[in-house]
Amino acid sequence: MPQLDTSTWFIMITSMFLTLFILLQLKISKYNYPHNAEIATKLDYKTSTPWMKKWTKIYLPLSLPQ
């Protein structure tokens, strides 16, 4: 039974990781990040429906009083 030749595995695995690292770096470098680290202002949304103004509890059918 012939032996499995594993002499090229190290080169293949390291070249794969290097290629993945380069591709990910190229993908990440396409994004535009802000230069200053300011906190974004939170927009205050107006609630126009009555069920959004208050907290409501959802009851399961078995937990209702009988």
Q: Quick one: pLDDT band at residue 39, thresholds 50, 70, 90?
A: low
Q: For position 31, what pLDDT does the model report?
A: 85
- Express each pLDDT in 2-37 by its tens digit: 788 888 999 999 999 999 999 999 999 998 877 776
Residue appearing with tokens 């396409």: 30
Domain ranges of the chain: 6-59
User: Within its chain, how far is the Cα of 21 from the centroid?
Assistant: 18
Yes or no: say if 47 and 53 are a contact pair by the CB < 8 Å rule. Answer: yes
Sequence-distant (≥ 6) Cβ neighbours of residue 47 within 8 angstroms: 53
| Residue located via tokens 């990781």 | 17
- pLDDT for the residue 32: 82
d(CA 16, CA 10): 10
